[in-house]
Chain A
């Protein structure tokens, strides 16, 4: 059974810092990996999608990498801003049958002005 772990559970940084969020998964048989952000009381916003054949994706100040063989992904946020404060969720689409997303528990990021 696929399990996704995110470290750290919470992170607080001063504005302007570069930071890395970590995600690991136990079964490398995945279709893709997605990073989302969730603001309190809101739905999820898709940030980056990495297909299983890809190594990384970039969007603005965000860069996500995927190492499928080791079951790891990182989300790099450059020059963090207070508006980046949110919970970041990592999810993999499992090949195990139903093609559902399996989520980690998230990393709550706070960027202090």
Chain B
């Protein structure tokens, strides 16, 4: 299947700083990417849909000024957690949707996740 990478895999930061997480589709173009967070032993929670060349669509209850999303190219979306606080500590996972057609049309591929710890 297609490969989606995330960087960094782990980050520890001080409260009040901003952290940027990158999500890249390595071998296909993705007009749509998704950002999730996951708490320990819980389901994935969709935070926002990232659309190439336009504004992200945020889920209800997710602060758009807190979680800045930029989808500047067909292979890269970034999530910036601004002024991070300990309650933002979580596992953040991105996914990219294959819209190029073929047998895996609309299949979503997930990155390996980023573990954020805010001290």
- Residues of chain A having any CB pair with chain B under 8 Å: 31-32, 34, 36, 41-46, 49, 51, 89, 91, 93, 98-101, 103-106
Contact = CB atoms under 8 A, between A and B. Distances in A.
B108 interface: yes
Interface string B35-56: 0000000011010010000000
Contact of A34 (B44, B105, B108): B108
Contact of A46 (B109, B113, B115): B109
Q: Which 5 A-B pairs give the minimum distances between C-beta atoms?
A: A44-B110, A43-B112, A49-B107, A43-B110, A43-B113
Contact of A31 (B34, B91, B106): B106
A98 B57 contact: yes
7 contacts: A34-B108, A41-B113, A41-B115, A42-B112, A44-B110, A46-B107, A49-B106
Contacts of B97: 99
Contact of B105 (A36, A42, A45, A51): A51
A13 B74 CA distance: 43
A19 B60 CA distance: 37
B93 interface: yes
Given A44-B93, A101-B34, A103-B43, A32 B106 contact: yes
B110 A41 contact: no
A46 B108 contact: yes
Contacts of A36: 110
Given A44-B110, A100-B46, 4 more contacts: A99-B32, A99-B106, A103-B44, A105-B43
A92 to B, nearest CB: 11
B110 A46 contact: yes
Contacts of B105: 51
A105 B106 CA distance: 21
A101 B43 contact: no
Interface in B71-119: 91, 93, 95, 97, 103-113, 115
A93 B95 CA distance: 13
B106 A100 contact: no
Contacts of A105: 43
A37 B6 CA distance: 18
